[in-house]
Chains A and B, each alone.
Chain A
Amino acid sequence: MPPKPQTFAQKALARAAGLDSVEVGEIVDARPNVALSHDNSAAIRQIWLQFGQSKVWDSARMAITLDHAVPAPTSRHAQNHADIRRFVAEQGIENFFEIGTGICHQVLSEEALVVPGQLILGAGRHTPHFGWMGAFGAGVGRSEMAAIWATGELWLRVPETIQIEIVGQLGEWVSAKDIALGIIGSLGADGGLYRCVELVGEGVADLSLSSRMTLANMMAEFGAKCSYIEPDRKVFSYLAEARLRRTGSKARDEALHSQIEELARHALYPDAGATYEKRHHFDAAKLQPQVACPHSVDRTVGVDELTEVRIDQAFLGTCTNGRLEDIAIVHRVLAGRRVAASTRLLIVPASKRVFAEAMKRGYVSDLLDAGAVFGTPGCGPCMGNHQGVLAPGEVCISSANRNFKGRMGTPHAEIYLASPAVVAASALTGRITAPEEVTRA
């Protein structure tokens, strides 16, 4: 009998568990290629100490970034960072990224520390981010990360898969963020609960890699365990160049070609005939810019319905929308113009690499002239720790991924989520604004 067709999730978890094949619903002990943690690493160490080990299972498979509250806003945060640095030195963890390098998911993508077909478990909910390259990325808790540090493995249930086909060409000011908000708005914040969400179709293949990251990343807010986009030549080239850069090799055609071949060999694709729990169809051509209203990501409406809402702060950044492509859109809307007097625009690049490139292209100085404030690369005010938290009664339009009550420091503030284009247009007028309204010739 020929083997049963398998989903991506089945193939990836079978590989990570060292098995020939696994069934949906089966619980397997999976060994991650990469175990990612961040500012929570000191707390994870406290749990790990219970194992009584002097060394972690494999420091080469660990990655730690300082990104969630950087530079330290209080001396307690500073103590947390100091504890992490000491642990990193003790354990000889090479993949350690200091404050200002960038957000964990962005940095590990840029450095190609994860590659297609691998399993990455992260002590952070947005680890499905790595679906952009066809890797199985899932978030875990602190005890689970401690268990991985001690044993190198963790129990995982093989998830059902739902497939979302995206078709149709996006309008000029409509982006991957709008697709994600549109999907979550129509199917609910729990529409992808426990599932692997496979994003397919011409509407996905046409997206830039940066936009694929946005889409895969946002599936965390759809409840997904992991997301998956078929890796193509664009993905392999990006990662191959990053790997050669990291090892200091010159990106000669031959070396690049062999890297690309190796990455392609390791990639995983679902079999034709694999079992999907559900299939959805999403027409991106009909989509208007979307905005998620307080305090839930699935309370989405078209931007035109909210143009009376005044804003105090516009925030551009995070692992969802803090990349060069996003800053370029803000630049396109705001260069040569001025942020509304009643509003502040905060830009926190997702990484140092993004920041440096934005500077090289002149975006940073133009946006400073337009009234923007730039923060240290990292998570910024996304989870209310620092760098632009809100006052009670204030309203923020944000390119982040969550608008939960209290998320940005006080339960008495309101957060609207939108694309970089809507954030920029709103910064210009001081109220929620459709990009078309301010860019018509």
Chain B
Amino acid sequence: MRESRGRAWVYGDNVDTDLLFAGKYTYTLRSPQEIAPHALEDLDPDFAAQVQKGDIIVGGRNWGCGSSREQAVTCLVYNGVDAVIARSFGRIFYRNAINNGLLALTCPEAVDVIQKGDEIEIDLDASIIHCPAGEFQFPPLSPTLSSILDAGGLIPYLLAKAARD
């Protein structure tokens, strides 16, 4: 069974890519060690210091709107974040997430009730989010997206595909 389990970090609507990872760092910081400490720096200074492996982010509408910068996703991955649940996603954030093996789920009903610090479990096979306030179904990923996510992201997916061909 494919599942994720972790504590929730809850944020609001229109959390943009500059809040996730500020533009001033985008052409100079390259390694995971350099990028990770700046995650969500201008929105929640506690996040990078306190986040634990497996934690889950819960956001509002249009999560990750703004720039195409991939560090808005990788800064979360480098901090061990397993999944983002939101009401909706900025388009490129969503693609970047799947392409980096970060689970991105749209589930407004779950976003309505999840509180900061809640223990959450995501069952990908059954497409269900379990949280203290209840269970919520989310739309399953398309087969293409599922295979990319299962491979751990776009690059490993393409490398495995090339090796098969």
Contact = CB atoms under 8 A, between A and B. Distances in A.
A276 interface: no
A298 B18 CA distance: 16
A411 B16 CA distance: 13
Interface stretch (A44-52, A197-205, A349-357): A44-52
Contact of A406 (B18, B88, B144, B155): B18
Nearest to B29: A76
A146 B153 CA distance: 13
Interface residues of B, number: 40
B104 interface: no
Contact of A125 (B24, B66, B88): B66
Interface in A388-412: 389, 402, 404-407, 409, 411
> Chain A binding site: helix, strand, loop or mixed by DSSP?
loop
A275 interface: no
A141 B14 CA distance: 19
B70 to A, nearest CB: 4
Interface string B76-104: 00000000000010111001100110000
Contacts of A404: 16-19, 66
Contacts of A405: 16, 18-19, 42-43
Contacts of B22: 384, 406
A383 interface: yes
B96 A123 contact: no
A404 B18 CA distance: 7
Contacts of A77: 27-28
14 contacts: A76-B28, A80-B27, A125-B66, A139-B91, A139-B92, A143-B155, A190-B65, A223-B91, A385-B27, A389-B24, A404-B16, A406-B22, A406-B24, A409-B24
Interface of B: 14, 16-19, 22-24, 26-28, 30, 41-43, 61-62, 65-70, 73, 88, 90-92, 95-96, 99-100, 142, 144, 153-155, 158-159, 162
Given A190-B90, A385-B24, 19 more contacts: A40-B69, A47-B155, A50-B155, A125-B68, A139-B92, A141-B69, A141-B70, A147-B158, A151-B158, A190-B14, A193-B62, A296-B14, A383-B23, A383-B67, A384-B24, A404-B19, A405-B43, A407-B23, A411-B42
Interface of A: 27, 39-40, 43, 46-47, 50-51, 68-69, 74, 76-77, 80, 122-125, 139-144, 146-147, 150-151, 155, 189-190, 193-194, 223, 225, 296, 298, 383-385, 389, 402, 404-407, 409, 411
